[in-house]
Structure 1
């Protein structure tokens, strides 16, 4: 088939980007979670997460008007929320006997 000078040449389709079978991200590639994804990971209500982030009470990232959470943000949130385990009380409160 001869080239037609009046017809523009077609570009070859772009080569697809390679997809990994594991689905894991590189350590160098930052992963940002949406509020819904972060809430699902932390098993908390998304509204709680959005409210706290909007007041800047928890670590978060704003990309323009879009709220995102990095893995470091989630780890910091978990670490800040951790409470040490408390042991049993050594003395139990005793109620005085009721008057008869």
Structure 2
């Protein structure tokens, strides 16, 4: 008596079953996978008005009462500027992806 819950062992994934069913292993047309849309940077990657204002305030404050220029790896102004540039680039990427899509 055949078991209806399990397919026969002799059928393979390419030989048996519905021929119209797509296969995850073989894509004859070579269609690219759909790109997931880039989401707006938030949290530690946000570039909102509040972040930009606070960055300028901190940068000016560090210039007036901060430590003297240190090495690039230890200077707080350099670290702030690097984070600002990273967030700005990420925001520009998001805007370009939004305009493109």
Q: Which is strand-richer, 1 or 2?
A: 1
Q: Which is helix-richer, 1 or 2?
A: 2
TM-score (structure 2 length as normaliser): 0.21
Which structure exhibits the higher relative contact order, with contacts defined as CA atoms closer than 8 Å and separated by 6 or more residues? Answer: 2
TM-score (structure 1 length as normaliser): 0.21
